Amino acid sequence: MNRRRARAVARKELLHIVRDPISLIMAVAVPLVLLLLFGWALSLDVDRVPTWVYDADRTPESRELIARFEASRFFQVGGYAGSQKAIEERIDRGEAMLGLVIPPDYSRRLALDQEAEVQALLDGSDSNTASIALGYVEAVARAHAQALQVRAQNLKLGRTVRPPVEARLRVWYNGELKSRNYIVPGLIAVILMIISALLTSLTIAREWESGTMEQLLSTPLRPAELVLGKLCAFFAVGLVDMVIAITVGVGVFRVPLRGSLLLLFFTGCLFLFGGLCWGILLSALARSQLLAYQLGMLTSFLPAFLLSGFVYAIENMPAPIRAITYIVPARYFVTIIKGIYLKGVGIGVLAAEIAFLAVYAALIFVAATRVMRQKVA
């Protein structure tokens, strides 16, 4: 391989990029827009659940239960209904997701030390959100019931009784339980995969369509030098995108970066190189910019978004789909970037994922070079 010829191709591609300011701005602005849009709009947090209450008891005991829900950040009591039917109408119109119905004998049953029932009506249209909200309802009800039991025992014994077991929970890695800290690192992986594949998916096809490939074929340029030269030019643009994504993630969204920044850049470069090689391979196979773009979007965005564990847990997927995720490079980079960001783990823990990215990048580079050699022949 002649480095001089590869540098010449890289310089040629950089000149093309610089002379097309719209494409350059898009290549830099799209990751920023995607990160800001998804980072603010995409949230898995379930809080401030719209709640309406029907209090048929209207006693201090029922108001104490309602106060528990009002004090919780997970519920937002929007008002009080005059009947259960009114709550159902609010849920039907989408004005409420949770309806809390307190029966008229609630305080009487508590006074008689009997089981007092409270009805919670949930809109199950969004099953995932409804399940999380139901868990919050059960937690608030359980805490209130425990407080009532302790109070009753204190009155009977005439002294303060403490629970035999005091639970103190400690959440590791994401103590505030913010979904943004989980989503933004995964977004960086998805954005790099999309941008890297789309940046290079048009380059070889554009050469064929514009007729300049014949001129390149008349030179001593070898396929490996052509591929590497084009990769170097777009690799520089990809590095800029990666720096922007990491800076926005830490500076704007305040996602903690607990691990090594050097390891993050190293693994990011591996992943970026593999994505660029994949785009070159698609471009060489397609010979059409439209087809290359469609293949790039289909093979980069969908797997990175759906099969990487970025949003949807791989463990919950059917077995055939889980098997497919093992060949999706974004899956391994999502694991790496979340481990570095949130857990601060190093290469000792992430060695298998890093090795896969390195092998993937090498194989795709060799495949792109061979396809180029066949096209040249």
Distance CA 97, CA 106 (A): 23
Angle, CA 24 vertex, CA 19 and CA 29 arms, to 5°: 160
Give the residue carrying structure tokens 């490939």: 213
Domain range 49-157, its CATH number among 3.30.420.40, 3.40.50.1220, 3.40.630.10, 3.40.1710.10: 3.40.1710.10
Model confidence, pTM? 0.78
Q: Is the four-CA dihedral 256, 258, 260, 263 of positive or negative sign?
A: negative
As a whole number, the mean pLDDT across the chain is 83
pLDDT score for 266 = 93
Give 26-79 pLDDT, tens digit per residue. Answer: 777 877 888 888 777 777 777 788 999 999 989 988 899 899 999 888 899 888
Give 149-171 pLDDT, tens digit per residue. Answer: 777 777 676 666 666 666 777 87
Distance CA 246, CA 267 (A): 13
Confidence band for 293, pLDDT divided at 50, 70 and 90: confident
Of 91-105, 156-170, 242-256, 323-337, least confident by mean pLDDT is: 156-170
pLDDT score for 145 = 85
Question: How many of the other CB atoms lie within 10 Å of CB of 321?
Answer: 13
CB 226 within 8 A of CB 7: no
Give 116-131 pLDDT, tens digit per residue. Answer: 888 999 988 888 788 8
CA distances from 17 to 205, 268, 277 (A): 16, 22, 18
pLDDT score for 360 = 93
pLDDT higher than 80, residue 268:
yes
Torsion, Cα of 256, 258, 260, 265 (10° steps): -20
Domain boundaries, the chain: 3-43+178-376, 49-157
Distance CA 354, CA 335 (A): 10
Among candidate residues 12, 11, 24, 376, the one with its CA nearest the CA of residue 213: 376
Distance CA 360, CA 331 (A): 12
